[in-house]
Amino acid sequence: MRIVFAGTPDFAVPCLRAAAQHGEVVAVYTQPDRPAGRGRELTPSPVKREALLRGIEVVQPENFRSAASKAALRALQPDLMIVVAYGLILPQSVLDIPTYGCWNVHASLLPRWRGAAPIQRAIEAGDSESGVGLMQMEKGLDTGPVLLAQSLAIGAHETGGQLHDRLSELGAQVLRDGLGLLRAGIRPLPQPQPDAGITYAHKLDKTEARLDWSQPAAVLAKQVRAFNPWPMAEAIVAGERLRLHGAVALDEHHGAVPGTLLRAGRDGLDVACGAGVLRIRVLQRDGGKAVTAADYLNGRPDLRPA
């Protein structure tokens, strides 16, 4: 087969490795290099770095609006285009170019969590499971029929970053399975998504990072997990802005104003919420690194219990 791969972030790299396993990837499409870091230097995407290591041609169009960009793709004579977190909307004229169309590896159990941030939204909503779907792409947003899918349980304390890594590897396995069938002359049977259970995972925004202490502790604990490592939950605690890397909800009644620091000890900083208490276990000060509550209190003797 002649495969074109389209992807950009770390999540897509295991899928690229799976697709390139038999030397069938003839080109890799990825987002143009973007400024990054303190120096704002142009930085290649993780997928581009992986493609260059493998000696695969890299193509970085701004979009597919021009006739030239579509002609360039058509000239590659792709049998299949695999799309994983590419970051560009593909028009129908592009989806129709490969012989077998375009496959998308999506990090949710469709139709739940269509859209940009399915991993974080699943944790934030308190879902007990997630998974990966291999989808035949259509013009709509993650509306295409599902070819293959695998599920996994979400850990009770799992963060967005941890679930991201597990789903990334699971996505590569599902893709390998699909490609194995296609190589054997078996096209995976497309299963239309049901109308019931459709939800949308809206893109994460930095403004969501600030916790609202009037919310229940159980809600805030899920946000802390979901937003780790980005945008990373933050809050004012005892007069200082902190980034929260790890926290748990305590089912505890109190009469304090939400946001009040109730206790500070080696086990954590206990903050009053609209309902219950949020115990902050791992945190980060401005300009510092992530530390345990016990280590944080070494630098805040004013908060240590007498």
CATH of the domain at 11: 3.40.50.170
The one-letter code for the residue type at 139 is K
pTM for this one?
0.95
Q: Which of 201, 222, 244 represents a domain boundary (last residue)?
A: 201
Domain stops at, among 201, 226, 249: 201
Q: 133 and 219 in contact (C-beta within 8 Å)?
A: no
218 neighbors 248 (Cβ within 8 angstroms): no
Rounded CA-CA distance 210/234 in Å is: 5
Q: Are residues 38 and 146 in the same domain?
A: yes
In total, how many domains does the chain have? 2
Residue 304 domain-assigned (yes or no)? no
134 has binding-site annotation = no
| Domain range enclosing 254 | 206-298
Same domain, 20 and 99: yes
Q: Distances from the Cα of 60 to the Cαs of 57, 64, 101, 201, 210, in angstroms?
A: 10, 10, 20, 26, 35
Domain boundary among 164, 185, 201: 201
- Residue 108 in marked binding region: yes
How many CB atoms are located within 10 Å of the residue 270 CB? 22
| Residue 262 burial (C-beta neighbours within 10 Å; 0-12, 13-18, 19+) | middle
What CATH number does the domain containing 229 carry? 3.10.25.10
Rounded to whole angstroms, how far apart are CA atoms 29 and 102?
Answer: 13
Half-sphere exposure of 105 (CA within 13 A, CB side): 32
The reply, when asked if residue 141 is annotated as ligand binding, is no
Residue 110 counted as an annotated binding residue = yes
Peptide bond into 111 cis (omega under 30): yes
DSSP labels for 256-290?
A: SPTT-EEEEETTEEEEE-SBSEEEEEEEEETTS-E
Please list the pLDDT of the chain residue by residue as tens digits (306 residues): 999 999 999 999 999 999 999 999 999 999 999 998 888 889 999 999 999 999 999 999 999 999 999 999 999 999 999 999 999 889 999 999 999 999 999 999 999 999 999 999 999 999 999 999 999 999 989 999 999 999 999 999 999 999 999 999 999 999 999 999 999 999 999 999 999 999 999 999 999 999 999 999 999 999 999 999 999 999 999 999 999 999 999 999 999 999 999 999 999 999 999 999 999 999 999 999 999 999 999 999 899 776
Instruction: Decide if 306 is inside a domain.
Output: no
Do residues 98 and 213 both lie within one domain? Answer: no
Specify the 3-state DSSP secondary structure of 17: helix
